[in-house]
Amino acid sequence: MADAQQIKKVGDIIRADDQRLYIVPSAPGKRSDDDTKITDMLIAFFEAVQRGENADKAFEMIEARFIEIRDALETGTEIETHLDLIKAEVMGGKGLDYAASRGEYLNGILIADYLGFDFIDPAEVIFFDTDGEYEPEKTRTVLRGTLRHTEKAVIPGFYGSMPDGRIKAFSRGGSDITGAIVARAARAEVYENWTDVSGFLVTDPRIVDNPDVIKKITYRELRELSYMGATVLHEDAVFPVFKANIPINIRNTNDPGDGGTMIVPSVDPGESGVITGIAGKKGFTVMSVEKAKMNAELGFGRRVLTALEKNGIRFEHMPSGIDTLGVVLSDSEIEGKEPQLLDDVYNLCQPDSLEVFKGLALVATVGHGMIHNIGVAARLFDALAKAGVNIRMIDQGSSEINIIVGVDEDDFETAIRAIYGAFCS
Amino acid sequence: MADAQQIKKVGDIIRADDQRLYIVPSAPGKRSDDDTKITDMLIAFFEAVQRGENADKAFEMIEARFIEIRDALETGTEIETHLDLIKAEVMGGKGLDYAASRGEYLNGILIADYLGFDFIDPAEVIFFDTDGEYEPEKTRTVLRGTLRHTEKAVIPGFYGSMPDGRIKAFSRGGSDITGAIVARAARAEVYENWTDVSGFLVTDPRIVDNPDVIKKITYRELRELSYMGATVLHEDAVFPVFKANIPINIRNTNDPGDGGTMIVPSVDPGESGVITGIAGKKGFTVMSVEKAKMNAELGFGRRVLTALEKNGIRFEHMPSGIDTLGVVLSDSEIEGKEPQLLDDVYNLCQPDSLEVFKGLALVATVGHGMIHNIGVAARLFDALAKAGVNIRMIDQGSSEINIIVGVDEDDFETAIRAIYGAFCS
């Protein structure tokens, strides 16, 4: 919500359905491509204060943005008082999270006044422990109690408080998390996440021009796709509502008539298309272990994984032949650890050969519609063959909702376009 | 080699190439479907003696067989003396392995006389330790020394001796092992394994009518196929010659003009067809473990495998999605161990869900020609789709010479026929 015009649009959306009870706004964003987000302005102000520089100019820009919004909304909110207090608090030593989260705080106050909703400060209802870890139980209890005494409220996203009262923020993307927490505490029928796109796309628009929007996707599918790099929603935001079986609806404030993407706990067979999404990532390495009769050797696979664990390396996949076992690793996981890892695998497993192949990309094709749907694999591999893509690895687990194909990094985009073409056009 | 006629045929084969220096015969087999193998007759004789029964009748049948062979070969061998000694030794308390291996011993003597070759008793050149474990180093040294003093020799298969002089036999199929040991010690150019089929078939003739013969196959491919149940050769027989890079040629005594199957250390690209063989097995179970964010959890896969190891269970494959991990287990491995295994996986891994699916069959399509051959997977999955086969699992490792597909047991034969049809007809 970059400006007053945007807030008015959101106001229309909220008023269009009186079941929209709790609103979790983020801070005002960019009004144009060369604009600065309020949150970044607040952080710049904080850093100037920390360095002992004169930060008045930096704060004036922030003030100007909020006064402009207030005036356009005609709420008559005493925003200047809030701004003065924030400036004084930051100059008096309040921390980065306090400063960075004031955009949400002030925006929340303005929107509450504009809508005539109650304002709830997350500092009083969302809690972190002394280590800065989010506390779901305490939050749920207190938040649920507070919501019981309000009919309609605005609860800014992104932050809460620690036991000593200090403000603590979620990582970036944290407004989505607050939204999910509120939805769960309120036992909402649906958690609407309004953004500037009409939901999730079947695949990356940088690879496929103008891909279809996913109408309905399960938590499971979303997780599989987001793991592979397709993400519009903060991952942690899915879990609280997932636990409470609340559907999430991704909607577009610029196109409120579009139904967007509905994220649901489960779908009925036949309700979805064959595939739901295609995602992928470059930057994988295969460690290939060969040993005659490894399958007859109790604990062989376990020892390979022990070597990984010893080096603090998580693995992605472990496709196996008869005398071979491949371990697919993210390049970032093995950076600087490769010589020690190979040493450990040698010592623990005594393989006949041990090789490392770089430059693997993984492409995941995901969809509940693939279950028991004969011919999905044929269509997929036919498309890849016609596109001239050499297949280096295939992994389809027992879940059947995901086929993961390993290809050369050079073939990555070609592979995704080919699969999209086979199923979605 | 069931009778003299068969031995004469083998004699012609041996004399056709004067590079055929060392001959490793098995015992005389069945002359017809309702006949009894000499080895089984010898075991029956041994058991009768052990039970204290009159075993003369049992031994007379054995004597008759050998005398008949000797007379037909017209070698003039004093086979009666050997037979009398064997009878006396077994009645005097010699063990089962001694008795069971006398078929090879006597056949070897007859064939050596028939060919005019030296006879080498494996008791003097093939060794086992006091625990009955085969001793490759000692055997190689002694056998090599003995072969140096003979130009052409017959060395019966199947047995050797322990340090105290007792006869010790390999497990059934052991003549192949002796052949491989002799080939390695002799640094042979080729180990010809003459049998009653013209080499390995691309797939199981009980499933596909009259399948093609494999002309050339690598050790690796053979191992992958034999692991999956396709086997004409004792598995241990491959390893000694594999270590020495000696090719194995499977030939047919009933069709000596046929080149049979050549088993080689490696093939040049383009030299082989796309696929070499198709094999498979029923009787697998998938244990499906689901846990949100398992990939982010260091050691998750290792803990699953630790649970298996704790129960003494070897696994076949471990295909994985994002939040799921399937472990493919042979039914025979988990028999009676399932409840304890599931308990251990629960305790070690705390999964969100844990399910067991029975009735999986695995089909392995193997071939060096698949490497970098675009479209192999497409052809394979297209064939399965057209045959109406639902795919439950796919696993192609980094080796690229093997695609393993999991299907319902009911679809097993259909799947093999479909793949054969796609690549071999």
Q: How many CB atoms lie within 10 A of CB A283?
A: 15
Residue A317 corresponds to which amino acid? Answer: H
List of residues 6+ apart from B333 with CB closer than 8 A: B313, B314, B315
Look at residue B382 and give its three-state secondary structure: helix
Q: Taking the model in full, what pTM does it have?
A: 0.77
Question: What's residue B399's pLDDT?
Answer: 64
Mean pLDDT in chain A?
90
Q: Which residues contact A144 (CB under 8 A, 6 or more apart)?
A: A185, A186
Chain B residue numbers with beta carbons less than 8 Å from the beta carbon of A388 are: 374
- What residues have CB less than 8 Å from B312, skipping those under 6 apart? A298, B337
pLDDT at res. B374? 82
Mean pLDDT score, A382-398: 88
Q: What is the pLDDT of residue A29?
A: 87
Average pLDDT over residues A163-173: 87
Shortest Cα–Cα distance, B128 to chain A (Å) = 22
**Residues of chain B positioned with their CB less than 8 A from the CB of A319:** 317, 319, 395-398
- Among B302, B378, B398, select the one facing A302 at the smallest CB separation: B302
Q: In what order do the strands lie in the sheet with B153-154?
A: B22-23, B153-154, B118-119
Contact B65, B32 (CB under 8 A): no
Considering CB atoms only, which of A306, A376, A397 is closest to B321? Answer: A397
Among A82, A260, A63, smallest CA distance to A156 is for A82
Taking CB atoms and an 8 Å limit, are B397 and A220 in contact across chains?
no
Cβ within 8 Å, pair A381-B384: no
Q: What is residue A4's predicted lDDT score, i.e. its pLDDT?
A: 83
Count how many pairs of residues, chain A against chain B, have C-beta atoms within 8 Å: 200
Q: Is the pLDDT of residue A101 over 80?
A: yes
Over residues A5-28, mean pLDDT: 92
The answer on pLDDT for A165 being more than 90 is yes
What is d(CA A402, CA A396) in angstroms, rounded to the nearest whole number?
6
pLDDT in 10s for each residue of chain B, 425 residues = 778 888 889 899 999 999 999 999 999 988 888 888 999 999 999 999 999 999 999 999 999 999 999 999 999 999 999 999 999 999 999 999 999 999 999 999 999 999 999 999 999 999 999 999 999 999 999 999 999 999 999 999 999 999 999 999 997 667 889 999 999 999 999 999 998 888 888 999 999 999 999 999 988 888 788 777 666 566 677 778 888 899 999 999 889 999 999 999 888 766 667 889 999 999 999 999 988 878 778 888 899 999 999 999 999 888 887 788 889 999 999 999 999 999 999 999 999 999 999 999 999 999 888 877 788 889 999 999 999 999 888 888 756 788 999 999 999 999 999 999 999 87
Distance from CA of A200 to the nearest CA of B (A): 19
For residues A213 and A227, the answer to whether their CB atoms sit within 8 Å is: no
Predicted pLDDT at B318: 87
Give the helix/strand (H/E) hosting A414.
Answer: helix A412-424
Tokens of B301: 């896969």
Nearest CA in chain A to B385: A375
Provide the CA B95 distance to its chain's centre, in angstroms: 26
pLDDT in tens, A179-195: 999 999 999 999 999 98
Q: Decide if A380 contacts A419 (C-beta within 8 A).
A: yes
Residues 6+ apart with CB under 8 A from A350: A291
In the block, which residue shows the tokens 């969809």? A367
* Separation CA B62–CA B87 (nearest Å): 10
For A320, the closest chain B residue by CA position comes to B397
- Check pLDDT > 70 for residue A234: no
How far is the alpha carbon of A13 from chain B, nearest alpha carbon, in Å?
34
Both tokens of A315, joined, read 């693995």
The per-residue pLDDT for B231 is: 62
How far does the CA of residue A307 sit from the closest CA of chain B (Å)? 10
* Å between A179 CA and nearest CA of chain B: 20
Name the residue among B323, B326, B381 with its Cβ closest to that of A398: B326
Cβ A294 vs Cβ A350: under 8 Å: no
Chain A contacts of B326, Cβ < 8 Å? 397-399
As a whole number of angstroms, the distance between CA B415 and CA B423 comes to 13
| Selected residue with higher pLDDT from A323 and B245 | B245
* Amino acid in position B314: R
Q: Cα(A378)–Cα(B385) distance, rounded to whole angstroms? A: 6
pLDDT of residue A25: 94
Quote the CA–CA distance of B359 and B157 in Å, as a whole number. Answer: 40
Summarised one tens digit per residue, pLDDT across range A262-321 is 999 888 766 667 889 999 999 999 999 988 878 778 888 899 999 999 999 999 888 887
**Chain A residues lying within 8 Å of B315, measured CB to CB:** 301
Which residue on chain B is closest to A286 by alpha carbon? B398
Tokens 């649970």 belong to which residue?
A: B307
| Yes or no, beta carbons of B395 and A319 under 8 Å apart | yes
Distance CA A409, CA A79 (A): 52
Residue type (1 letter), B93: G
What are the residues whose beta carbons fall under 8 Å from the beta carbon of A41, sequence distance 6 or more?
A: A58, A61, A62, A65
CB contact under 8 A, B382 and A384: no
Cα A424 to chain centroid distance, Å, stands at: 24
